[in-house]
């Protein structure tokens, strides 16, 4: 039995999009395969270890994101940079995606600093980008359709240090203009897909689990397949609702 150590960052502040559902999916998919998930929750002011395998950063309302933006660089950024350099995994969703990049500039010009784990920068637009979102995602040369919901005012652009998680089939994506969605640098992933993300996307859930277990054990991991009928049905329903042909 392997142990996957997860650090859930700001579960009290960044949880607006059912982010605990993503942790629940990671736990259950590990347990079904005989592995154990250990979760450390770290909030405002809490230092974090640099030796965990997977770090999760969710989404929140603007006022909560502002509080996190003041704390994250001061108490957690150094450990996160060390962990990413060691091959650990980061999954950052919506507001977490913005703060994992270089930062977020609000409509009034105020700036929430990020920590630069992703080469992405976000500026608020005049309207919110809302609706079902379907992308063709690619990780390590493997392509899958990934679905979710987006609700963000930010327009995110990527620098050369990150590539999009995928190309938009339906919805807006990072900025509604360039066709990209999310950002990937090494094993750090940022995305606007939520609702939550992982229950309807077992391939992505298993990818971050596999990466985390590889970090834990220092060797390649092959995950046993699971019976994903319910997950695939939810995925298909989201694709159909978005009007994308299967």
Residues 50-100: tens digit of each pLDDT? 999 999 999 988 888 999 999 999 999 999 999 999 999 999 999 999 999
The CA distance from 30 to 28, in Å, is 5
Domain housing 114: 3-241
pLDDT tens string 228-238: 999 999 999 99
Give the CATH number for residue 208. Answer: 3.40.50.880
The CA distance from 80 to 92, in Å, is 12
Which residues are catalytic, by number?
Answer: 94, 194
Number of H helices, E strands in the chain: 6, 12
Return the SS3 of 38. Answer: strand
Q: For position 18, what pLDDT does the model report? A: 81
Q: How many domains does the chain have?
A: 1
């Amino acid at each position: 039995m392997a142990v996957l150590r997860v650090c859930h960052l700001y579960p009290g502040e960044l949880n607006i999009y059912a982010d605990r559902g993503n942790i629940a999916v990671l736990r259950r998919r590990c347990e079904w395969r005989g592995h154990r998930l250990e979760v450390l929750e770290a909030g405002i002011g809490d230092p974090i270890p640099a030796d965990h395998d997977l770090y999760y950063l969710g989404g929140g309302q603007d006022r909560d994101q502002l509080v996190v933006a003041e704390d994250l660089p001061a108490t957690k950024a150094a450990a996160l940079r060390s962990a990413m350099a060691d091959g650990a995994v980061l999954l950052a969703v919506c507001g977490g995606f913005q703060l994992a990049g270089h930062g977020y500039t609000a409509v009034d010009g105020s700036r929430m600093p990020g920590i630069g784990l992703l080469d992405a920068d976000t500026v608020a637009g005049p309207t919110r980008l809302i609706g079902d979102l379907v992308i063709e995602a690619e990780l390590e040369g493997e392509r899958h359709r990934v679905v979710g919901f987006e609700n963000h005012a930010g327009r995110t652009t990527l620098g050369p240090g990150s590539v999009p998680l995928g190309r938009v089939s339906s919805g807006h994506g990072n900025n509604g203009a360039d066709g990209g969605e999310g950002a990937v640098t090494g094993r750090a992933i940022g995305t606007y897909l939520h609702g939550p993300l992982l229950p309807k996307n077992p391939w992505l859930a298993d990818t971050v689990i596999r990466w985390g277990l590889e970090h834990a054990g220092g060797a390649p991991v092959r995950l046993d397949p699971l019976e994903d009928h319910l997950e695939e049905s939810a995925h298909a329903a989201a694709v159909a609702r978005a009007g994308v042909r299967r």
